[in-house]
Amino acid sequence: MSVLDDSVAAIRDLQPHKVVVFTGAGVSADSGVPTFRGPQGLWRSYRSEDLATPEAFARDPKLVWQWYEWRRGLIREAQPNAAHRSIAQLATAVVITQNVDNLHARGGSRDIVELHGNIFRVRCTREGTITVADEPFASLPPHCACGALLRPDIVWFGEMLPEEAVERASAAIIGADILLIIGTSGVVYPAAGLVALHRGLSIEINPEASALASACTYAIPSRAAEATPQIINAILEGQR
């Protein structure tokens, strides 16, 4: 039997009802969204890690926003793939994501914890108000109605994760019957450290074993869009 077969058999034995899905960039790779650390993630001569910082924004907000508008354009054209859509079939599942691409919501998931924010929201640097901003901006950098600069509502390097998101994610993972870890490298902390809170059945889906693979019950070497639907179907069978 393959690791996928073993995973399906374990799910059928357990018949889990409290499901948590923890996702990273790999879940959106089949939608055409470049993975954060992949070669397609490069923009001009800059690294993502050099632009996604408060210091970079303070130094050159227009440059940072040019990069984000490029990313927003790519993501706007992307569509949820089979992994997003199958996860959404789990109506009561909690989806915890490190992604900022909004594809889980567009794919139909309802209970989503966005650890790193959302690229289609903006935050006023003076008032802290957060608003949805789906469409391209007329000029860069964008400004709030109050006159202050707007920044992406995203957690940058050097910033803390939102306390409420961490609390919700931690509680969900601790209480889960099964934890699915899909498309994450497992190297971005503190988000990756949350999976250590789970003590039950855990299944990783990733083409290459991540830093979390050794801690999982099963690690399926597959792309998210290929293996996720089969795993979700097994869970749904046990919930009928």
- Residues belonging to the active site: 116
CA distance linking residue 212 with residue 196, whole number of Å: 9
CA distance linking residue 134 with residue 115, whole number of Å: 19
CA distance linking residue 148 with residue 194, whole number of Å: 35
| CA-wise closest residue to 157 among 6, 26, 37 | 37
**SS3 category, 21:** strand
**Number of Cβ within a 10 Å radius of residue 50:** 13
| CA-wise closest residue to 157 among 50, 66, 25 | 50
Which residues have a Cβ under 8 Å from the Cβ of 240 and sit 6 or more positions away?
A: none
Q: Are 40 and 34 in contact (CB under 8 A)?
A: yes
Strand order in the sheet with 111-114: 111-114, 94-97, 19-23, 178-182, 201-205, 218-220
CA distance linking residue 117 with residue 122, whole number of Å: 10
